[in-house]
């Protein structure tokens, strides 16, 4: 890994960010922790916050990104750096909100690279958001691998 990194999945409300991160977590478990792990879509509803070890690196995963002070998100984002010493943090935020500003503050204050990405989304049929979320998660898992192995 070249430098500690925050991978910020950002976009408008209701755009599938949390769903994409939840699927990405499952993909990382399958790739790095338990190759026999399987999952089916749709995943259960709900936000996740987790810390995984992937290729010997500590990866924090947070799907909540709507409100910085709701449900302890502010403290969890800080903990990924200060308590868990995460090498990579994967988190969600809306485009311009207090969560996005806090993520930028953490990146600059603690010398993390900040990479902002979006997931695939469409409001037009025949696309199914879960299918787009899964495709996004698989592509983001490839990106995570490139970050962890030092290619990016």
pLDDT recorded at residue 123 = 82
pLDDT digits (tens, 9 = 90+) for 80-119: 999 999 999 999 999 889 999 999 999 999 999 999 999 9
Please report which confidence band the pLDDT of residue 78 belongs to, taking 50, 70 and 90 as the band edges.
Answer: very high
Virtual torsion, Cα 94, 95, 99, 102, nearest 10 deg: 160
pLDDT tens per residue across span 7-40: 999 998 989 999 999 999 999 999 999 999 888 8
- Residue 119 and residue 90 in contact, taking contact as beta carbons nearer than 8 Å: no
């Amino acid at each position: 890994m070249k430098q500690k990194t925050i991978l910020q999945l950002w976009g408008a409300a209701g755009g599938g960010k949390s769903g994409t991160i939840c699927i990405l977590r499952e993909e990382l478990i399958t790739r790095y922790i338990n190759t026999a792990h399987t999952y089916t879509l749709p995943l259960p509803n709900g936000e996740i916050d987790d810390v995984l070890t992937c290729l010997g690196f500590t990866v924090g995963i947070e799907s909540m990104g709507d409100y910085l002070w709701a449900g302890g998100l502010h403290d969890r984002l800080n903990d990924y750096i200060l308590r868990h010493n995460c090498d990579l943090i994967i988190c969600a935020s809306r485009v311009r909100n207090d969560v996005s500003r806090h993520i930028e503050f953490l990146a600059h204050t603690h010398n993390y690279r900040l990479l902002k990405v979006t997931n695939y989304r469409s409001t037009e049929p025949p696309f199914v958001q879960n299918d787009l979320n899964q495709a996004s998660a698989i592509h983001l898992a490839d990106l995570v691998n490139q970050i962890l192995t030092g290619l990016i």
